[in-house]
Amino acid sequence: MAERLFENLAEFSQWRPSIRTVGTIRGGKIGSESRQDFRFVELPKLLASFATPLIDPTVLNASSSLELLSETGLNKHRVWRNLNATLFSAWTQAFAVCLVIAGAGTGVAGEPFLPADDSVVLETLPDFLKGGRKKFVEIQEQLRENPSDESLVQQAAALFIDAGEANSDPRFFGIARKILDPWWKRESVPGPILLLRARIKERDQLYNDAIVDLIKLNSQQPDDGRALISLARLYAMQGQYGQARDAAKQLEEIAGTVAYLICLIPIDVVTGNTKDALAAIEMISPDIESQHQFAITWLSITRANIAEIIGNTDQAERFYQAGLVNDPDHLDLKLAYADFLINQKRCETVGDLLKDHGDRNAVLLRVAIAAKVTGDEVVASQYTEKLTERLEAVRQRGDHPDRRISARCYLDLTNQPELALREALANWEVRRELEDSRLVLRAAVAAESPGDVREVKRFLRVARTEDVISEQLISQLESQ
């Protein structure tokens, strides 16, 4: 049973690698738990850490005709909870990093590792699985017993999507995608499924398709604040600021002024309304600190971003430090601060800053860049090699990696500015946040190719974006 589920999990997660079974291992350890008599396939160790599957795909076979119960209405508490899960992560760049797990393509994995005895640790389970694994097992058992329970199917899909977002693990999205397969291509879909489907499409960078689902959901359930939050975020991500403002305004009628302004502030920051954004922050800060503590870190990151945009690096430093005091383990905060330190050529502390966050691609990228800048050639080479292997594995599967990460890898690690510019421009076609525009400009400077960024410059001008970093890069391009 274990070997069948292990191999199914790889296929089930939509990685679709060519899996070659290389032998049967009796014993060995994965994290702190023994696994007996399972087949070890030629996949990276990180995939081996999930040898015990999170859900048995076969329990879904009988559910192809299910439809989920529709959901009507939404109270303010649930809107705020979704702000925590989606809008907040958007501004702190969490949604931009779709991390790809190592080497799922053929030709990437090396010789299979065969542990000598049960004391050998193959991989340490992620903390979220060690601490919350029971809920995955329980929902697997419940689905096996009640495969036609529509509400349960909806809960299961949401559980795996939440886990995928929280841990930047594409396998969970693959499981959720399989759970929702009966509804994937339907035109008429219940509201809750439209939202779950949109979240998966967003993760796959199918932003236009996600927007279509969210518009349908908003039409069905105009009072569903989750759809409006997601629409505002996706429209802003694509540089469609008018539509983003409309969605935020509609949210105000449902969730109140504070939720509206949290949606609006990131838009104002990049559309020439920095003073309005700062005034709005000061207005909502007391309410956030007393009633919505989850957004306190968001305040620190937003203030730091604004300080960077206007060129006040000392103030940005203070806001980042204040955020770390309040929330020392917040990964998105640490990634933003790491980028700030790298931009300031203060890379000595980046490794220590991110040391507790594993080897996600976003972490690998920043640690490798910092090591290269500080002259630590061993760490820089090791992390660059691991990252480039992962990106190449995605390409071998016929997909494209997260182009924001790929472009930075070419630009800052492997010294290939032309490839970096190509990837940055491809990324900018679908994602037009300020970070993405800066990346295109940086790559163009390195490639000495000012003619390729006319559209980016026009976009920033039309949006009235006032960003010191972008302006400096444009000046460098004009002097080439």
**Taking residues 185-195, what's their average pLDDT?**
90
Q: Alpha-carbon distance 435 to 94, whole Å? A: 13
Q: What is the DSSP letter of 124?
A: P
Q: Which residues pair with 34 in a beta bridge?
A: 29
Tokens standing for residue 223: 């009072």
Tell me what percent of the residues of the chain surpass a pLDDT of 90.
56
Q: What pairing do the DSSP bridges indicate for beta strands 38-41 and 33-34?
A: unpaired
Alpha carbons 174 and 202: distance in angstroms, whole number: 13
- 376: which residues sit within 8 A by CB, 6+ positions away? none
Distance CA 53, CA 51 (A): 6
In-domain check, residue 425: no
Q: Is the pLDDT of residue 24 over 90?
A: no
Q: What is the pLDDT of residues 409-457, one digit of tens each?
A: 999 999 999 999 999 999 999 999 999 999 999 999 999 999 999 999 9
Query: CA–CA separation, 331 vs 322, rounded Å?
Result: 15
In contact, 59 and 140? CB cutoff 8 Å: yes
User: Contact at 8 Å (CB) between 266 and 254?
Assistant: no
The pLDDT value given to residue 8: 37
Average pLDDT over residues 159-188: 85
> In the structure encoding, which two tokens stand for residue 372, read together?
């290269």
Question: Has residue 211 been placed in a domain?
Answer: yes
CA 431 to chain centre: 13
* Contact of 394 with 400, CB cutoff 8 Å: yes
394-411 pLDDT, tens digit per residue, is: 899 888 889 999 999 999
Instruction: Considering only residues 15 and 290, tell me which one the structure prediction assigns the higher pLDDT.
Output: 290
pLDDT of residue 85: 47
Burial category of 31 from C-beta neighbours within 10 Å (exposed 0-12, middle 13-18, buried 19 and up): middle
Contact criterion met (CB below 8 Å) for 456 and 474: no
| Distance (Å) of CA 131 to CA 33, 47, 269 | 13, 19, 39
What's the pLDDT at 137? 80
Whether 20 shows a pLDDT value over 70: the answer reads no
Residue 352 reports pLDDT greater than 60 = yes
Name every residue whose Cβ is closer than 8 Å to that of residue 138 and which is 6 or more positions away in sequence: none
Q: Are 21 and 41 in contact (CB under 8 A)?
A: yes
The tally of domains found in the chain comes to 1
For 471, other C-beta atoms within 10 Å of its C-beta total: 14
Q: Which residues contact 122 (CB under 8 A, 6 or more apart)?
A: 28, 29, 30, 45, 48, 49, 113, 115
Q: Is the pLDDT of residue 222 over 50?
A: yes
| Residue 178 belongs to some domain of the structure | yes
Question: Tens digits of per-residue pLDDT, 281-332?
Answer: 999 999 998 988 888 999 999 999 999 999 999 999 999 999 999 999 999 9
Asked if the structure places residue 115 within a domain, the reply is: no
**Alpha helices, DSSP H only, in 146-224?**
150-167, 170-179, 191-203, 207-220
Contact 231, 215 (CB under 8 A): yes
Q: What is the mean pLDDT of residues 261-289?
A: 95
Q: Which residue bears the tokens 């989606």?
A: 86
CB 35 within 8 A of CB 48: no
Task: State the residue range of the domain holding 248.
Answer: 35-48+131-259
* Residue 30, helix vs strand vs coil: strand
Give me the pLDDT at residue 15, please: 34
Q: Copy the structure tokens of residue 27.
A: 């014993």
User: Would you state the pLDDT for residue 150?
Assistant: 74
What CATH number is attached to the domain comprising 39? 1.25.40.10
- The answer to the question of residue 470 being in a domain is no
Q: How many Cα atoms occupy the beta-carbon half-sphere of 166 within 13 Å?
A: 13
Give dist(CA 449, CA 111) in Å, integer: 42
| Mean pLDDT computed over every residue of the chain | 78
Residue that is written with structure tokens 């929330």 in the block: 327
Domain membership of residue 351 (yes or no) is: no
Q: Is the residue at 227 inside a domain?
A: yes
Q: Which residue has the higher pLDDT, 187 or 24?
A: 187
Other C-beta atoms closer than 10 Å to the C-beta of 309 total 20
What's the DSSP call for residue 294?
A: G
Separation CA 333–CA 351 (nearest Å): 15
Q: Mean pLDDT across the stretch 344-363?
A: 93
137 domain residue, yes or no: yes
- Number of Cβ within 10 Å of residue 308's Cβ equals 24
Q: Which residues contact 436 (CB under 8 A, 6 or more apart)?
A: 404, 424, 427, 428
